[in-house]
Chain A
Amino acid sequence: MKYGTKILTAFFFLSIPCAIAASPKNPDQCFVCHEGMGDKPSSLYKSDVHKLNGISCSGCHGGDASKEDQDDAMKKSIGFIGVPHGDEISTLCGSCHADSVKMRQYNSKLPTHQMNLLAASVHGKNAIKGGQHIVQCTTCHNSHGIVSVKNPKSPVHPLRVTQTCTQCHANAAYMRLYNPSLPVDQLDKYRTSVHGLRNAQGDAKAAVCSSCHSGHDIQPAGSAKSHVNAANIPETCAKCHASADYMKEYKIPTDQYEKFTKSVHGVALLQKHDLSAPACNDCHGNHGAVPPGVESISKVCGSCHALNADLFSASPHKKAFDENKFPECETCHGNHGIMTATVTMLGVDSTAVCSKCHTEQKSVKGYRVAQEMRLLIDSLTNDQKRALGIVEEAEQKGMEIGEAKFKLRDAHQARLESRTMVHSFNKEKFDEVIAKGLNVTSFVALEAQRAVEEYFFRRWGLGIATLIITILAVSLYAYIRRLENK
Chain B
Amino acid sequence: MEKSTDVPVQPGKRDFLKWLIGSATAAWVVSVAYPIFSFLKPPKQGEVEVSSVKAGKLSEMAKDSGMIVKFGTKPVILIRKADGDLKAFSGTCTHLDCTVQYRKDFGSIWCACHNGKYDLNGSNISGPPPKPLDEYKVIIKEDEIFISKGT
Cα distance A305–B116 in the bound complex, in angstroms: 9
> Given A409-B99, A486-B5, A471 and B127 touching (CB < 8 A)?
no
Contact A307 B115 (CB under 8 A): yes
Contact B113 A276 (CB under 8 A): no
Contact A409 B114 (CB under 8 A): no
Contact A475 B21 (CB under 8 A): yes
Q: Indicate which residue in A402, A461, A464, A478 contacts B17 across the interface (CB closer than 8 Å).
A: A478
B107 an interface residue at 8 Å Cβ cutoff? no
Contact B17 A406 (CB under 8 A): no
> Given A413-B98, A417-B112, A476 and B21 touching (CB < 8 A)?
yes
Q: Indicate which residue in B31, B74, B75 contacts A468 across the interface (CB closer than 8 Å).
A: B31
Cα distance A472–B20 in the bound complex, in angstroms: 8
Cα distance A464–B24 in the bound complex, in angstroms: 12
Contact A406 B114 (CB under 8 A): no
Contact residues, A283-323 vs B (CB, 8 A): 304-308, 310
Q: Across the interface, which residues of A come within 8 angstroms of B20, CB to CB?
A: 471, 475
Cα distance A469–B24 in the bound complex, in angstroms: 8
A479 an interface residue at 8 Å Cβ cutoff? yes
Q: Across the interface, which residues of B come within 8 angstroms of A413, CB to CB?
A: 97-99, 112-113
Interface extent on A, as a size class?
35 or more
Q: Across the interface, which residues of A come within 8 angstroms of B74, CB to CB?
A: 406
Q: Across the interface, which residues of B come within 8 angstroms of A461, CB to CB?
A: 31
Contact A277 B4 (CB under 8 A): no
B residues contacting the other copy or chain, number (CB 8 A): 34
Contact B28 A468 (CB under 8 A): yes
Contact A276 B124 (CB under 8 A): yes
Distance between A206 CB and nearest chain B CB, rounded to angstroms: 33
A109 an interface residue at 8 Å Cβ cutoff? no
Distance between B89 CB and nearest chain A CB, rounded to angstroms: 16
A61 an interface residue at 8 Å Cβ cutoff? no
Contact B113 A417 (CB under 8 A): yes
Cα distance A315–B127 in the bound complex, in angstroms: 21
B59 an interface residue at 8 Å Cβ cutoff? no
Q: Across the interface, which residues of A come within 8 angstroms of B126, CB to CB?
A: 304, 306
Contact B128 A304 (CB under 8 A): yes
Q: Provide the A451-486 mask, 1 if CB < 8 A to any CB of B, else 0.
A: 000000000010011001101100110110011001
Cα distance A274–B127 in the bound complex, in angstroms: 13
Q: Indicate which residue in B5, B98, B127 contacts A416 across the interface (CB closer than 8 Å).
A: B98
Residue of B nearest to A471 (CB): B24
Contact A482 B9 (CB under 8 A): yes
Cα distance A420–B113 in the bound complex, in angstroms: 7
Instruction: Name the residue in B27, B75, B124, B131 with the highest tally of chain A Cβ atoms < 10 Å from its Cβ.
Output: B27
B50 an interface residue at 8 Å Cβ cutoff? no
Contact A405 B28 (CB under 8 A): no
Q: Across the interface, which residues of A come within 8 angstroms of B128, CB to CB?
A: 276, 304-305
- Kindly count the residue-residue contacts between A and B in the assembled complex, taking CB atoms under 8 Å apart: 83
B130 an interface residue at 8 Å Cβ cutoff? yes
Contact residues, B93-151 vs A (CB, 8 A): 96-99, 112-115, 124, 126-131
B36 an interface residue at 8 Å Cβ cutoff? no
B7 an interface residue at 8 Å Cβ cutoff? yes
Cα distance A420–B96 in the bound complex, in angstroms: 12
A412 an interface residue at 8 Å Cβ cutoff? yes
Contact B113 A416 (CB under 8 A): yes
Distance between B60 CB and nearest chain A CB, rounded to angstroms: 23
A272 an interface residue at 8 Å Cβ cutoff? yes
Instruction: Name the residue in A272, A276, A310, A405 with the highest tally of chain B Cβ atoms < 10 Å from its Cβ.
Output: A276
A194 an interface residue at 8 Å Cβ cutoff? no
Instruction: Name the residue in A405, A416, A420 with the highest tally of chain B Cβ atoms < 10 Å from its Cβ.
Output: A416
Contact B24 A475 (CB under 8 A): yes
Cα distance A375–B31 in the bound complex, in angstroms: 50
Distance between B109 CB and nearest chain A CB, rounded to angstroms: 15
Contact A468 B24 (CB under 8 A): yes
Q: Across the interface, which residues of B come within 8 angstroms of A471, CB to CB?
A: 20, 24, 27
7 closest cross-chain pairs (CB), A and B = A307-B115, A472-B24, A274-B130, A306-B115, A475-B20, A416-B113, A465-B31
Q: A276-B128, A472-B27 are in contact. List 17 more A-B contacts (CB 8 A).
A: A268-B130, A272-B130, A274-B131, A276-B124, A276-B129, A305-B114, A305-B115, A308-B114, A402-B72, A416-B114, A417-B113, A420-B113, A468-B31, A472-B21, A472-B25, A475-B20, A475-B24
Measured CB to CB, the residues of A under 8 A from B are 268, 272, 274, 276-277, 304-308, 310, 402, 405-406, 409-410, 412-413, 416-417, 420, 461, 464-465, 468-469, 471-472, 475-476, 478-479, 482-483, 486
A-B contact pairs, 12 of them (CB 8 A): A276-B128, A304-B127, A305-B115, A307-B115, A310-B115, A405-B73, A413-B98, A413-B99, A416-B114, A469-B28, A476-B21, A486-B4
